[in-house]
Chain A
Amino acid sequence: MSRELLVRVENLRKSYVANGNAYDALRHASGTVLAGDRVAVVGRTGSGKSTLLHLLAGLDAPSSGSISWPGLGPQRDLRPGKIGVVFQSPSLVPWLDVTENLILPLLLCNRPDNVSILAAAALDRFELGHLATRLPEELSGGQAQRVSMARATMTGPSLVLADEPTGQLDLETGTHLMDALFEWADHTGAALVVATHDPGIAARFTTKWQVDQGSLITPTELLS
């Protein structure tokens, strides 16, 4: 049975200008993400992993090339309903507690029914029950990252993009977090694209995309 094509990128390039000089953060990037895919994006710091994830999430526009989301619909409706995003930096809304941060994506999608039940389930899934009423400023970096992960799954998205989700966690906690994420993805059939430095985490993914100095090398290219 053929899987649904969620994202297609073709010859993407993303340039930035810094100190009057233009440089490519990402170039010649092509690839696809299908429903249920497990993609690890690996590469050195500053290689362009985050840029790629932001482009896949529709958060940024490419300088050239094309990107489309055939299985997810128009770009304006991607987040938070179709794509859940976990950012590398702290990304919880500071003036909402953990539970409110979790239900926020549902309300942004205008899905106010059963939000408490869904939030409770997510808290349980990611072992965050004891933090339910804490404010972001009362959480450690790792705890905040777990809440971000849980929030990314709240709307039942078809694709979760996570940028270094275990970067601030110890090995055991990181493993638990990824277990929970995989379990949730297996259950829902969602695709996962996760940028990571951790070879152990990367090894759990069926597909690896290597980003090196702005160039994306997909499995096909790796084989060739």
Chain B
Amino acid sequence: MIIAWLSGLLRTRSGRIIGIVAGIVVAVALLADLGTFIQGSAATMTSRAVATAPIDWQVQVLPGSDKAAIRQAITDAAPTSSIFEVGYADVASFEFKSDTCIQVTGAGKALGLDATYIATLPSGFRILAGDTSGAVLLQQTAANLHAAPGDTVVVHKDSGDVSILITGIVDLLTADTIFQPIGVPVGSAPQAPPDNAVIVPLDQWQKLFGSVGTAAVASAHLQLHTVLDHASLPADPSAAFISVTNAGHNLEARVAGTALLANNLAVQLDAARGDAIYARVLFLFLGAPGIVLACLLTMALAASGEQRRRRDQSLLRLRGATASAILTIALVEALAIGGTGALTGAIAAALSGPLFGLPVQGRGRLLWSALAIFAGIGLAVLALLVPSVSSLFRQSVASARQTLGGNRIPLWERLFLDIICLGLAALVFWQTAASGYQVVLATEGVTAVSIDYTAFLAPVLLWIGSALLGMRIVRALLTYGRQTVEAAVMPLSGALAPIIASSLKRQRGRLARSTAFVALAVGFAVSTGVFNTTYQGQARVDALLTNGADVTVTGTRLAPADLIKDQLAALPGVTAAQFMQHRFAYVGTDLQDIYGIDPKTIGSATAMANAYFGNGNAQATLATLAATPSAVLVSDETVTDFQLNLGDPINLRLQGPDGAYQSVPFIFSGIVREFPTAPRDSFLIANASYIAAMTGVPGAEVGLLKTKGDAKSVKLAAAELAKAYPGMRVSELGDAAHIIGSSLTAIDLAGLTSLELTFAVILALGATGLMLALGLADRRRGFAILTAIGAKPRQVAAFIASETAVVLGLGTLIGIVVGGLVAQVLVVILQGVFDPPPEQLAVPWPYLAAVGTAILVVTGITLANGVRQASEKPMQHMRELT
């Protein structure tokens, strides 16, 4: 009987079954793809974090300790791939005597590196001149000494002076990490790396400073730089962070009193785990509504066949089928439909994965596909079996005959649930916006991560409240606004307008539900599109912030970028060129980056966002800077640390022409939080002309180029100009996006974006096309009657088009409003994702126009098909559908 029933269903209800299967396919595919993306992105974040850690562990051997025992402890604590011995020694000064003069630096460091160190960790070094076969000078030191490869430099140290032959000059990119103090309390102010340093081969270093492995040498110590076995790390950043942190703790316990650990890898993973959680939060905020919508759509599609199901069940009961037999049939039907839809959805997701940058196979894909298949079957059971059970045990003869139904005022409407939801959403949102808190709180160094789930309430309540309010509006309009509706449908229906208005009023329950679906689907497309476009825009701003401009030329003190400013400005494709100083200044004992700019013109070459400045007003801040030559903008942290008030005088120490630091008076004029090319911690912004005048060093080290068209070709041309100047580098925006590893906006979410946008379109088309088609199919007999009594196709079309216009028009209108509101709420709640936060929403007009066009095309096809079906063979439809 079951097989006969199923084959009968396939023959007579194929359209509806295909609709339900399609709904399950969409829900399952969306869940499988989103889950795979989240899992994959977590692994990417981990590998990026690992790649950006300069040295995983720095283990400082304390004086008198046994380095072999410590080395053993390291390998016992965690799987390692290599351990390097690195010698550190303080030197009093470096001296270089040229033919014309003698240059002497301040105190510095001498680093002893294993011969394989640079080859194993090449990303930390940039060779500027010569090679690394012997002693190499750091770029700044070489500049201070005016020394070059082949020169001999004297190292003044406690135990006597030695001369070393310089073979190369390098830029030590990881100087902050390599020279970091180990064993200082967490949260201590970072210490600037030494201005002067030389790197020598370890054996030479040992000859210069003696063996420090077993004996105490006051001015020298040994570190063991460890590269861990990354293959054994968990893919998830949080798990990887916990694993590396715990391994670090294990090592600390083993070497207590003999060595100190700087767990650099844990620090990098610490930043990434927050981003990974944000990615999950994004999944919940952006993906979950789509999945819920697909589920609701499936259930609505199933519910649209409810009348016929009731009739079928009545027939079965009349013919003696027991309740359990009917339920068995319903269960088998649900499992067959659910299984087909779920499997198809999982396969569709896997096959379409590459379109969104997702893998076709793999552990993550398998896991999420299995999960999605179970969810899809569950959805089918919920959509098909539960209504069967309900109608089997609660249905009355009268209710079985009802075809309109659902026109009573629903309970939620009487309880004003929509208004309550919207009110609560506004309240939660207001609290969120006012307090400026972060949804994800991953405190540095603490393994526990907190997610504020109450933040989810605002968009969830907004979605629910808006959908219900949309239904209330439609019901109210069709019930009480008959004249308005009549006037609105008059152009489509002519003399039939009054009767069509009545017809719409009678069907207000169904039309309100359909409108709500269209509103939700359009709202999802709008919110996803707007959020993603805003996000992409901010990712560019973030990259711009990191790189400085479309193309940035970074020179040195000796070879500032403005040496070639005229040539750079004249390059084809360059629309604006601005040059700014990048120096260092002491605020008290704290060394900070200082940028000297021309506040009147800097904005022509790079974005000056309001969010960069403490008062949220870029224009006013730059005007203040321009009006006061000695004005300086400082970071929040500096204001707090030095208890500064606006207008306070502040003396900074900057390098003069001879390299010596001299005091320069400034006036504290404002707060700066971010600035192109500036570091994330404390820095200063001042007038370039003032700095030049007060220090006697006029050069501007950094050139910011705004380009039109292809920035890469401008970069190549600029690099050609820059190659004549040692140390001058050129980078473009695209480079920055790859460099920023720890920021979520830099992680390639293009796959997620295209995935969401694609599914938003599918859902919008499904909600309009499928709902409309099934709505028409439900009432095909009514339309056949219209044709049978004499309605012309255009008159049947007037009925169908009028209700389509109500559903589509009101649904789209409500959807646009809801989508815009949800996007705004998401942007505010997910502030942590944006760096800096966006000043306004970006609307993807082409995408929205494409969605609108697709909806109109699908609606037009559905409508034409509905009219054709109703107008052809009306008697056959009347017979079949009785």
Note whether A and B form a binding pair.
yes
Q: Give residues in A with beta carbon < 8 Å to B.
A: 54, 59-60, 76, 78-81, 85, 87, 89-97, 100, 103-105, 107-110, 112, 135, 137, 151
Q: Is the CB of A87 within 8 A of B507?
A: no
Q: Is the CB of A108 within 8 A of B875?
A: no
A76 to B785 CA separation, bound complex (whole angstroms): 16
- Selected A-B contacts with CB under 8 Å, 7 pairs: A92-B785, A94-B779, A95-B779, A95-B782, A100-B503, A108-B789, A137-B401
The answer to whether B789 touches A85, judged by C-beta atoms less than 8 angstroms apart, is: yes
Q: Chain B residues near A76: list those with CB within 8 A.
A: 792
- Is B6 positioned at the interface, with any CB of A under 8 Å from its CB? no
In the bound assembly, the distance between CA atoms of A85 and B786 in angstroms comes to: 12
Using known A-B contacts A91-B878, A94-B779, determine if residue A59 contacts B788 with beta carbons closer than 8 Å: yes
In the complex, which residues of chain B have a beta carbon less than 8 angstroms from the beta carbon of A60?
875
Which chain A positions have C-beta within 8 A of B879?
A: 89
Q: Are B404 and A135 in contact (CB under 8 A)?
A: yes
Place the interface of chain B in its size category.
Answer: 20 to 34
A-B CB proximity, top 9 nearest: A79-B790, A80-B790, A95-B506, A112-B495, A94-B403, A95-B503, A89-B882, A107-B495, A91-B785
Chain A residues whose C-beta falls within 8 Å of the C-beta of B498 in the assembled complex: 107
Q: Chain B's nearest CB lies how many Å from the CB of A210?
A: 23
Residue B162 at the chain A interface, CB threshold 8 Å: no
Chain B, Cβ-Cβ closest to A54: B875
B496 at the interface (CB under 8 A from A): yes
Decide: A96 near B790, CB < 8 A? Known: A107-B495, A108-B795, A137-B402: no
Residues of B within 8 A of A87 (CB): 788, 878
Q: What distance in Å separates the Cβ of A90 from its nearest Cβ neighbour in chain B?
A: 7
Evaluate contact between B506 and A96: CB separation under 8 angstroms.
Answer: yes
Chain B stretch 829-882: residues in CB contact (< 8 A) with chain A: 874-875, 878-879, 882
Given A59-B874, A103-B499, A104-B499, the answer on whether A95 and B507 have CB atoms closer than 8 Å is yes
**A107→B496 contact, CB < 8 A:** yes
Known: A78-B790, A94-B779, A95-B403. 5 other contacts (CB 8 A): A91-B788, A93-B786, A107-B496, A137-B402, A137-B404
Query: Considering only CB atoms, which chain B residue lies closest to A77 in the complex?
Result: B790
- Inter-chain contact A59/B782, CB cutoff 8 Å: no
Q: Which residues of A contact B506 (CB under 8 A)?
A: 95-96, 135
The interface of chain B, by Cβ under 8 A from chain A, is 401-404, 494-496, 498-499, 502-503, 506-507, 779, 781-782, 785-786, 788-792, 795, 874-875, 878-879, 882
Contact of B789 among A79, A89, A97 (CB under 8 A): A79
Q: How far is the CA of A91 from the CA of B881 in the complex (A)?
A: 11
Q: Find chain A residues with CB under 8 A from B507 CB.
A: 95
Q: In this complex, what residue of B is CB-closest to A59?
A: B875
- Closest approach, in angstroms, between the C-beta of A198 and any C-beta of chain B? 22
Q: Which residues of A contact B878 (CB under 8 A)?
A: 87, 89, 91
B401 surroundings in chain A (CB, below 8 A): 137
Cβ–Cβ < 8 Å partners of B402 in chain A: 137
Inside 8 A of B404's CB, which chain A residues have their CB? 94-95, 135, 137
* A59-B875, A60-B875, A112-B495 known; A96-B788 Cβ under 8 A: no
Q: How near does chain A come to B479, taking the closest CB pair, in angstroms? A: 14
Given the known interface contacts A89-B882, A107-B495, A137-B404, the answer about A96 and B789 at a Cβ–Cβ threshold of 8 Å is no
Within the complex, the shortest CB–CB distance from B857 to chain A, in Å, comes to 28
Across-interface contacts of B790 in A (CB, < 8 A): 78-81, 105, 108-109
* A156, chain B: closest CB distance, angstroms: 13
Docked pose: A81 CA to B874 CA in angstroms: 18
Q: Which residue of A lies closest to B876 (CB)?
A: A60
Verify A137–B403 contact, CB threshold 8 A: yes
A103 to B498, CA, bound (A): 11
List, in ascending order, chain B residues with CB within 8 A of A54's CB. 875
Compute how far the CA of A87 lies from the CA of B403 in the bound complex, rounded to whole angstroms. 20
Q: Are A104 and B789 in contact (CB under 8 A)?
A: yes
B502, A100: Cβ atoms under 8 Å?
yes
Q: Closest approach, in angstroms, between the C-beta of A125 and any C-beta of chain B? A: 18
A78–B787 Cα distance when bound, in Å, is 12
Contact check, A105 vs B495: say whether CB atoms are below 8 A apart.
no
A78 to B795, CA, bound (A): 15
**In the complex, which residues of chain B have a beta carbon less than 8 angstroms from the beta carbon of A109?**
790
Q: Are A94 and B495 in contact (CB under 8 A)?
A: no
Shortest distance in angstroms between A119's beta carbon and chain B's nearest beta carbon? 11
Chain B positions within 8 Å of A103 at CB level: 499
Enumerate chain B residues within 8 angstroms of A135, measured Cβ to Cβ.
404, 506
- What's the least CB distance linking A158 to chain B, in Å? 14
User: A97: which B residues are within 8 A, CB to CB?
Assistant: 502
Judge whether A96 and B403 touch: CB under 8 Å. Answer: no
Known contacts A87-B878, A94-B779, A94-B782; A107 and B499 CB within 8 A of each other: yes
Q: By CB atoms of chain B within 10 A, which of A59, A93, A110 has the most? A: A93
Please indicate which of the listed interface residues A54, A85, A87, A97 has the most CB atoms of chain B within 10 Å of its own CB. A87
Q: Is the CB of A91 within 8 A of B503?
A: no
Give B402's nearest chain A residue, CB to CB.
A137
Shortest CB–CB separation between residue B365 and chain A, in angstroms? Answer: 47
Instruction: List chain B residues, Cβ under 8 A from A90.
Output: 882
Q: Which residue of A lies closest to B494 (CB)?
A: A110
- With CB as the reference atom, state the residue of chain B lying closest to A109: B790
Whole-angstrom distance between the alpha carbons of A126 and B658 in the complex?
114
Q: A59-B875, A95-B506, A108-B795 are in contact. Are A100 and B499 (CB under 8 A)?
A: yes
CA distance A46 to B779 in the complex (A): 27
- A137 to chain B: which residues have CB within 8 Å? 401-404
Q: Give the one of A76, A78, A95 with max B CB within 10 A.
A: A95
**Chain A hits for B788, CB < 8 A:** 59, 79, 85, 87, 91
Is the beta-carbon distance between B503 and A96 smaller than 8 angstroms? yes
**Distance between B775 CB and nearest chain A CB, rounded to angstroms:** 12
**Hey, which chain B residues are within 8 Å of A94, CB to CB?**
403-404, 779, 781-782
- Which residues of chain A have C-beta atoms less than 8 A from B503's C-beta? 93, 95-96, 100
Q: Closest B-chain residue to A136, C-beta based? A: B403
Q: How far is the CB of A159 from chain B (nearest CB, A)?
A: 13
A12 → B minimal CB distance (Å): 16
- Cβ-closest chain A residue relative to B405: A137
* A22 CA / B507 CA spacing, docked (Å): 41
CA distance A59 to B786 in the complex (A): 12
